[in-house]
Structure 1
Amino acid sequence: MENKLYSPKVMNDILKKYNFRFSKNLGQNFLIDGNILDKICDGINLDKDDEVVEIGPGIGTLTSALAERARKVIAIELDKRLLPILDDTLSSYKNIEVIHGDVLKLDLNNIIEEKFENKKVKLAANLPYYITTPIIMKLLEQKINLESIIVMVQKEVAERMKASPGSKAYGALSIAVQYYSNPEIVTIVPKNVFIPKPNVDSAVIKLDVYSKPRVDVKDEQLFFNVVKGAFSLRRKTLVNSLSSSDVGINKEEIKEILRDLNIKENIRGEKLSIEQFALLADSIYDKKN
């Protein structure tokens, strides 16, 4: 487009034309910085053969930038008030299709199979803070045919996804994300490059999705129950946290397993690597079966 959608003047003119009011309930913040758009597109290495799913196109700011580099873009928008705006702002692009729907309720595997003939695709999103984790975990847990995911999230959430064992930010979210993908923070995004301005800074994080999980486990559900249990009482030792959780074995059995794995009894969950959690979960599985 000749008039870039990220220009505050262009954006305000469009919003005024359609009498659009931002919804606090939907956590709407629109990006007004073209450099960040470039970093997002660069971050997932878009080229003319790529096919992209975008979640939350807003008025089409990122959508248009993606479409200029990719072969095809399917954009999923929840807010029906934005549909006529997207019809307008994206009218010159022949490689964009907008779907109205809630990404948490849609079958993304079906959409990818139908629209992209089940080819591996890339996914981009500027997610509302309140729903970031459920959406990302759905994308990863449902083993959707994705090559990579690049999302704008709250800076603190990005740091938790990327965090290493022993750090303050490391927790169940770190392990869940790193079980399915390799996270990399692309850039930090200051709060003043959005309309309206959010209360905190954001970050663009890229998740390269593994073809199979980073660790092999005997029981995936048990693995995640162990991780959840380990962080449920963060100030307690791993033994106390797990014995208070629903992993199904008692304190003495947990101590015995830790001794067998050469893990100190007084360790906290935040010190364990994802590989150690996998060994721990498998040992609990063996003890129970």
Structure 2
Amino acid sequence: MDWTADLNRTFFSHPGRGHRPTQRQPTPSLQPVGVSSGRIVRRRINRDSPPCQPAFVAPSLALGRQLRYQQRQPHTRRSDAAPGAAHQASFMTGFIQAFHQRASRALGQHFLTDQSALQAIARDTRAAPGRVVLEIGPGPGVLTHALLQTGARVVAIEKDRRAVEFLQTTFRDMIGDDASARLTVIEGDALAQPPHALLDGVGPQPWLAAGNLPYNIATAILTLFLTDAPHFERWTFMFQKEVAQRLVAQPNSKAYGSLSLAVAARTDPLLIRTLPPGAFAPPPKVDSAVVSFSVRDTPRLDPALLPTFERLARAAFSKRRKTIRNSLRYGLSHLTPEALDSLLARANVSPRSRAEQLPFDDFVALTLALHDLQAHADSNAAPPSD
């Protein structure tokens, strides 16, 4: 046993450096009092007794402690700090003071305060001069600030009137409705209209989008963007970690499902990074993740077949523990057993396989086969022409 390392952890732990400081126990406990024969000697003390100090400290440990203090980075004076970093820090301080105690639980507000994550979202969105970025739910504008620093024009839609007023005050020199304005703030609900309706006549297409989405409406907003995908080049959103894993899931995984297929039909998703609750104010109860969606130049499926594709995917995953045949029998109850067997045979899919085992191409084949069956049934049901 390396007793020097044990002693070092016991007596030289510092808050904020990866170790939890030694805390006094509410009941009598064993406290270290020294070193004897290569091990820590402990004795029982009362709760009110002062903490004991080590009777002996190896010189090498004391020297190591001194070297660690010497290796710390020197304090950066205000005059030596980069102007951009100082401005970002002051902006973050003002943001926390203004909104940390005012976040609305009803609106699902958890404001991102991690500067590196904010910069990563702005960078991955590909925001640049001459580009237009639609931001969903800017809140007090911390991500808005990062997007504006790239030189892009930002159109932000916010439902919380307090945040709208805060944005109008903070960015008053950039806000306007004309073509020269760097920032346009819209007070409204992002779910009330398709995303492209917010950007009609604003800059060239395809557009970009970003946002720290409220978790209670994140999937609904994503669905709107998937429908509006042809108008956008890419978007980068914050999700609950569990939802983010479903968005990028691959076959033969528990997270793989109908949402994974809907995303893969239109975009190439990529999980950028995960964030702990402490990266937000106030902190949520779950971990979060940033996901980037790059819209495919060539769709993997005819857009006219997307409704059929999504309906079939939902039916296939409605009974995850059952075979694909039994799942479709419940989800597509209008099909007869004979039609269902014909559907699987046309798509060359084994009826004993499960939905989570099927890759995207198998669902495309099932969609085409279902479309053909429906077209054939409709032609037989049509009344004969005179």
TM-score normalised by structure 1 residue count: 0.91
Aligned-pair CA distance for 1:236: 1.2
1:123 aligns with 2:209: yes
Q: Which has the larger radius of gyration?
A: 2
CA pair 257-108 structure 1, distance change in 2 beyond 3 A: closer
Q: CA offset at residue 44 of structure 1?
A: 2.1
SS at match of 2:314: helix
Give the one of 288, 296, 304 matched to 1:202: 288
Structure 2 Cα separation of the partners of residues 58 and 210 of structure 1: 30
Matched, 1:59 2:140: yes
Matches within 5 A, 1:68-217: 68-93=149-174, 95-116=182-203, 118-143=204-229, 145-216=231-302
Letter in 2 for 1:70: G
Q: CA deviation at 1:47?
A: 2.0
**1:110 maps to amino acid:** A
Q: Which residue of 1 aligns with 2:98?
A: 14
Q: CA deviation at 1:260?
A: 3.8
Equivalent residue for 1:271? 357
Could you tell me which residue of structure 1 aligns to residue 60 of structure 2? Answer: none
Q: Distance in 2 between matches of 1:148 and 1:250?
A: 41
Structure 1: how far apart are the matches of 2:211 and 2:312?
30
SS of the aligned residue for 1:113 comes to: coil
With 61-70 and 89-98 compared, the bigger mean Cα shift is at: 89-98
Identify the residue that residue 243 of structure 1 maps to in structure 2.
329
Partner of 2:118: 37
CA positional deviation for 1:282: 1.1
Which protein, 1 or 2, shows the higher relative CO under an 8 Å CA cutoff with sep ≥ 6? Answer: 1
Q: Secondary structure at the match of 1:54?
A: strand
Structure 2 residue aligned with 1:220, among 306, 314, 318? 306
Displacement of 1:153 in angstroms is 0.6
Give how far 1:245 is off.
1.6
Q: Deviations for 1:185-207, whole angstroms, at most 9, x for unmatched residues?
A: 11111111100000111111000
Alpha-carbon distance, 1:120 to partner: 1.1
Q: Report the Cα offset of residue 232 of structure 1.
A: 0.8
Measure, in 1, the Cα distance between the counterparts of 2:364 and 2:348.
14
Q: Please give the alpha-carbon distance, in whole angstroms, between the structure 2 residues aligned to 1:64 and 1:240.
A: 52
Deviations 1:190-228 (A, max 9, x none): 111100000111111000012442223763222211111
Local SS of the residue matching 1:4 = helix
Structure 1 vs Structure 2 CA RMSD = 2.1
Q: In terms of mean alpha carbon deviation, does 128-137 or 94-103 score higher?
A: 94-103
Gap regions ≥5 residues in structure 1: none
Query: TM-score of the superposition, structure 2-length normalised?
Result: 0.69
CA distance in 2 between counterparts of 1:190 and 1:140 reads 27
Tell me, yes or no, if the aligned pair for 2:135 and 2:154 is still in contact at 8 Å. Answer: yes
Contact 1:5–1:11 (Cα < 8 Å) also in 2: no
Whole-angstrom distance in 2 between the partners of 1:84 and 1:45: 28
Helix, strand or coil: the match of 2:134?
strand
Task: Answer whether contact 2:343 2:370 (CA < 8 A) is retained.
Answer: yes
Aligned-residue sequence identity (percent) comes to 34
State whether residues 346 and 369 of structure 2, in contact with CA within 8 Å, keep that contact through their aligned partners in structure 1.
no
**Structure 2 counterpart SS, 1:284:** helix
* Contact 1:218–1:282 (Cα < 8 Å) also in 2: no
Partners of 2:276 and 2:91 in 1: how far apart?
Answer: 17
Whole-angstrom CA distance in 1 between matches of 2:247 and 2:90: 28
Task: Assess if the C-alpha contact under 8 Å between 2:194 and 2:228 holds in 1.
Answer: no
Tell me: CA distance 1:9–1:218, structure 2 relative to 1, closer, same or farther (3 Å): closer
Contact 2:265 2:300 in 1 (8 A): yes
Task: Between 86-95 and 53-62, report the one with greater CA deviation.
Answer: 86-95
